Structure formats: structure tokens, C-alpha cells
A and B are shown apart, each in its own frame.
Chain A
Amino acid sequence: MSSFLTSRNVADVLNGITNGVIYSLVALSLVLVWRSTRILNFAQGAMAMIATYVGFAVLAPTTNYWVSMVVAILAGLLLGGLTERVIVRGLYGKPEINPVVAMVGFLLVLESVAAAIWSTSSRGLPTPFSMVDWQLNHKPVAMSPFALYEIVTAVIVMTVIALLFQYTKLGLRLRAAALAPEVSRLLGVRVGRMLTLGWMLSSAVGAITAVLVASNYFTGLTPTAMDGVFAFGFIAAAIGGLDSPVGALLSGISLGIILQFVGDYLNSNAIILVALGMLVVSLMVRPNGVFTRSAQRRV
């Protein structure tokens, strides 16, 4: 039994889950915004990165990890709200490439501003838990306290979001505003406010994700730290279906596991190529997502 837990394949699965929950979180934050505003937020990763800098670089000398985490989340909420009010609001109802272009531009601005203020060199964050794997009969199990912390945090975030949307009045309004904006207005839902709130929530989820990514000793915090993570998160979201939070969760974790095997058995440089291939194939076979029912576009 113990040799099973420390075996190569189990290690791949465990590491894969640890990476996968991060992809799931990014995918979830993309889905939150996509469902309500039909905008794919290409600046998602960069916004989260800025929030993390605000939490950790600005407060670095004075506070501990958890205070910084809270500040980063608040910064994420604020940045998400501001982005929606200042940039995104002017893009509703425009051709679908306009928001794409605007968010890519915003991504570039955010990454450049971060590099201008905090430089491009990597910044180590305090790590709240040990990154050394647990031992079993003097052999490492591919799971460290830090990895467990990542997984637990992801589970908490997803549960909170799910409960919020499914069981609260606010969640009902948020979902209604996303599904049927005009009808919602006729029922008294302040749809504009709901969209802002959707962006704030998504950005806060992003901030938590970026803190997790940057707390990892091997990554650290750089202005472009989230580019790769964003790419994998997007791939997960697109495979799972941008409309489906559950799809985002499942495909994020599956992607994490599959890619861990690819990296272990093939080549670490092949990981993103395989991910890209999976994206291309899945988009061709199930354009609306592996985990959603497909809907036909009409005139």
C-alpha cells in the first residue's frame, strides 16, 4: 500500500491535481465573467497579478501572509469593479473582437506598469506551509502541506461561489442578470450592478489564484507570472465550456493530471503543445464544451 502511494503514477496524479485546481480556479474566474457579459477576459491573469503585488509588494515588510492575502483579495475586488465600470462598460453590444482587443491591451498595460513599478525580477513570497513532500517509509509522497493548502483553498473558493450562486438572493439575481438581462431589469434587478459584481467576484477568485501561484517557491511573483497559468486556465475553460462552472472545474483538474503524465513520460516542453492539441481537437469535436449541451446559433 505504501509503495503504491509513493509510486510514479500516483505521484503524477497527485501533482496533477495540485496543478489542476489552479487551472480550475482560473477557468472558473473566466466562466464567471463570460456567463454574465459574454467577454473573455484576457487581462484576467494580469489583473490577478496586480492584486497580488498590491497585497504582497506594498505590504511586504509589515504584515504576515494572511493579511496580505486579504489585501490582495480586496484589491482584486476593487480592480475587477473598476475594470468593468471604466473599460468594459463601453464594450457591451460592440463586435465581439472589440472586447478581446481591449482586454489584450489592458493586459499589456498592466504587465508593463507592474514591471515599471516593481521591476521584472522575480519576488519570492512568504510560504505559509512547507513545500517539502510528506514521507512514507522514507519515500516522498507527492503531496506537501503547501500542495494540500492549495487544494483546500481551491475547494473552499469553489464551494463559496457555488453556494453564493445557488442558494442566495444575490446569486439568483446574478444568474438572472447573466441569463436574461432585459427580463431581469423588468423584475427590478439592477443588471448593471450585477455585471460589476460579477467582474469583482471573478477578479477576487483570480487574486486568490495568483497568490497561490506566486506563493509557490519555484514560481515567485513576476509581472508575467500569470501568462502561462492563464493559457492553461483558458484551455481548461474552453474545453469544459465557457458557460459551465462545473465543466471548468472538471476539465481543469483533468487537464492538470493529463499534462503531468505528459511532462513526466514525454518531455516538459511538450506539455503546452499537448494542451494546445487537446484544445484544438476538443473545440472541433465539441465546440461548446465537453461538459455542456450544445446550442445552435440562429439567425
Chain B
Amino acid sequence: MISVTGLSVSYGAVQALRDVSFGAATGEITAVLGANGAGKTTLLRTISGLVAPRAGTVALDETTLTGRRPEDIVRRGVGHVPEGRGVIAEFTVEENLRLGAMISPMPLRDGLDQQYQWFPVLGERRKQAAATLSGGERQMLAMARALIAKPSVLLLDEPSLGLAPLVTAQLMHTVSELCASTGLTVILVEQNAKSALRIASRAVVLYLGRLVADDVAEVVASDDQLRQYYLGMVE
């Protein structure tokens, strides 16, 4: 379980997060929703240690993560698939995965086989440079690269960005299956609230750095006010 307590982050004079608290339950998908600039990405970056908060803490079960470096936080089982995927384009698919597997307790071969099973297309392109992959394939590679380290928590930043609806649906389905079959805790940041709410069990909504809603996904999805004012969902 990831617990975020009283988190405040500022970049210079700009306050990106103000006193945000919520919990992401083990084995569940928690969606973090909100418009552009709501502080979603900052939230993930603070959890994984890339950004130092001005106040507040992040804890994984009993361990405090705040104040640790990102390379140590990932070793404690928090995988982060960053905004824009962060695939190293100059590397081959397999090199990207090997990099992710460095901190894995599992033998490399087994880890690779497992990922290729989940994402068969990566197995087909293992020798190809990541630069040649399509957007959806890149997202799969980024996820596989994080998963190969056997994390207990996966932070996903806008996985659907720039993907076709069909690909997005497929991706969301994979995430939901992964979660169900491995007991992985997922924090899913999405602007595309509709598809995120479909697979999430809980959802929190950020607006200008503040937490404005924290509830079961169905409730958030059916709250007209939230949908209109904060999520911009018009039907």
C-alpha cells in the first residue's frame, strides 16, 4: 500500500501540489485524474523520488520513501513508467529490457521470457532498435522494462497519450490483467479519464494541485459535477 500524506511540492514560486493525501491499496488500480497542469505528473515524480517535496511524506507499507533517491526507491519495488515512456531509442528492445532487469532478483533469461509472454510483440522485435517501434509498442516496452524488475508498485504516467483508442483499450486491458494476476499495485495517471475509470477500482481527482475527490471509481465516474468541472468529460 502506498500512502501519500500531506504532500506539497513547489517549483520556485509555483505550487504544483498542495497538501495532497490519499492511499493506493495493494493489488488495486488507483487512477489519478485531472486536467493538464493539475499536478498528476508531479505527484508520480515525487513518489519515485525525482522531485523532493516541500512538505509531507510518501510511504510504501511501513517504509518511508520520502528523502530517498530514485535509484533506491525503485530497488524497494516502486517502478515508474515516465511521461513520454522514456524508452531509450538508441537501444534495442532487448537492451532496454536488460537495463530494467539489472535490479531484478530473477535470472535475466526468465525475466525476458516472462515479458515476451505478456507482450509477444516485443519478443518478435527484440533485436530491433526501440526507435523503430510504434507508440503502442513503445508503451509496452516501457511497461515491460519496469515490470521485469519485479516491482510491487507500478506508477504509470499517461500510458494512453498519443495512442489510438483501440490500442489504448488493449493496453488498459493488459494493465488490468497484470494487476489481477500478480497482485501488483498500480497508480495510473491519466488525462483520458474514461478509459482509466473503466479499469480502476479507486480514483482521485486533482485540480490545480489540490485533491478534490477520492472515492471508488464508479462513484467518481457517475459524479456529474466532477466529470464536468474537473475532468472535462462531455457526452
Question: Residues on A close to B: CB < 8 A?
Answer: 169, 172-173, 175-176, 179-180, 182-191
Q: A172-B98, A173-B99, A187-B99 are in contact. Are A182 and B86 (CB under 8 A)?
A: yes
Interface centre among A176, A187, A189 (most CB of B within 10 A): A187
CA distance A173 to B98 in the complex (A): 10
Nearest-neighbor residue (CB-CB) of A183 within chain B: B86
CA distance A182 to B74 in the complex (A): 13
Question: Is B88 a contact partner of A186 (Cβ separation < 8 A)?
Answer: no
Chain B residues in 8 Å Cβ range of A191: 71
CB distance from B152 to the nearest CB of A (A): 14
Nearest-neighbor residue (CB-CB) of B148 within chain A: A187
Question: Is B102 a contact partner of A185 (Cβ separation < 8 A)?
Answer: no
Chain A residues in 8 Å Cβ range of B146: 187
Q: Does B80 contact A (CB under 8 A)?
A: yes
| Residue from A169, A173, A180, A186 within 8 A of B48 (CB atoms) | A186
Question: Is B71 a contact partner of A188 (Cβ separation < 8 A)?
Answer: yes
Nearest-neighbor residue (CB-CB) of B80 within chain A: A186
Question: Is B88 a contact partner of A179 (Cβ separation < 8 A)?
Answer: yes
Nearest-neighbor residue (CB-CB) of B155 within chain A: A186
Q: Does B202 contact A (CB under 8 A)?
A: no
| Residue from A172, A176, A179, A185 within 8 A of B70 (CB atoms) | A185
CA distance A208 to B95 in the complex (A): 31
CA distance A175 to B52 in the complex (A): 26
| Residue from A169, A176, A182, A189 within 8 A of B82 (CB atoms) | A182
CB distance from A176 to the nearest CB of B (A): 5
CB distance from B48 to the nearest CB of A (A): 6
Chain A residues in 8 Å Cβ range of B48: 186
Chain B residues in 8 Å Cβ range of A175: 90-91
Chain B residues in 8 Å Cβ range of A188: 71, 74-75, 102-103, 149
CB distance from B139 to the nearest CB of A (A): 14
Q: A172-B95, A172-B99, A173-B99 are in contact. Are A185 and B71 (CB under 8 A)?
A: yes
Contact string, B65-80, partner A, CB cutoff 8 A, digits 1/0?
0000111001100011
CA distance A186 to B87 in the complex (A): 12
Question: Is A186 a contact partner of B82 (Cβ separation < 8 A)?
Answer: yes
Nearest-neighbor residue (CB-CB) of B108 within chain A: A169
Nearest-neighbor residue (CB-CB) of A185 within chain B: B70
Number of residues of chain B lying within 8 A (CB) of chain A: 23
Question: Is B50 a contact partner of A176 (Cβ separation < 8 A)?
Answer: no
Chain A residues in 8 Å Cβ range of B40: none
Query: In the complex, which residues 34-93 of chain B have their Cβ closer than 8 Å to any Cβ of chain A?
Result: 48, 50, 69-71, 74-75, 79-80, 82, 86, 88, 90-91
CA distance A187 to B88 in the complex (A): 12
Chain B residues in 8 Å Cβ range of A189: 71, 99, 102
Q: List 28 A-B contacts (CB under 8 A).
A: A169-B98, A169-B102, A172-B102, A173-B102, A175-B90, A175-B91, A179-B88, A179-B90, A179-B91, A180-B86, A180-B88, A183-B86, A185-B69, A185-B74, A186-B48, A186-B50, A186-B74, A186-B79, A186-B82, A186-B86, A187-B74, A187-B99, A187-B102, A187-B103, A187-B146, A187-B149, A189-B71, A189-B102
CA distance A24 to B218 in the complex (A): 64
CB distance from B86 to the nearest CB of A (A): 4
Give the top 5 A-B pairs by smallest Cβ distance, nearest first.
A183-B86, A188-B103, A185-B70, A188-B74, A186-B80
Q: Does B111 contact A (CB under 8 A)?
A: no
CA distance A176 to B149 in the complex (A): 16
Query: In the complex, which residues 141-182 of chain B have their Cβ closer than 8 Å to any Cβ of chain A?
Result: 145-146, 149
Chain A residues in 8 Å Cβ range of B79: 186
Interface centre among B88, B90, B100 (most CB of A within 10 A): B88
Chain A residues in 8 Å Cβ range of B71: 185, 188-191
Q: A179-B90, A191-B71 are in contact. Are A185 and B50 (CB under 8 A)?
A: yes
Q: A179-B88, A189-B71 are in contact. Are A184 and B99 (CB under 8 A)?
A: yes
CB distance from B161 to the nearest CB of A (A): 16
CB distance from A105 to the nearest CB of B (A): 31
Nearest-neighbor residue (CB-CB) of B142 within chain A: A183
CA distance A180 to B89 in the complex (A): 10
CB distance from B173 to the nearest CB of A (A): 25
Query: In the complex, which residues 95-143 of chain B have their Cβ closer than 8 Å to any Cβ of chain A?
Result: 95, 98-100, 102-103
Chain B residues in 8 Å Cβ range of A187: 74, 99-100, 102-103, 145-146, 149
| Residue from A176, A182, A185, A186 within 8 A of B91 (CB atoms) | A176
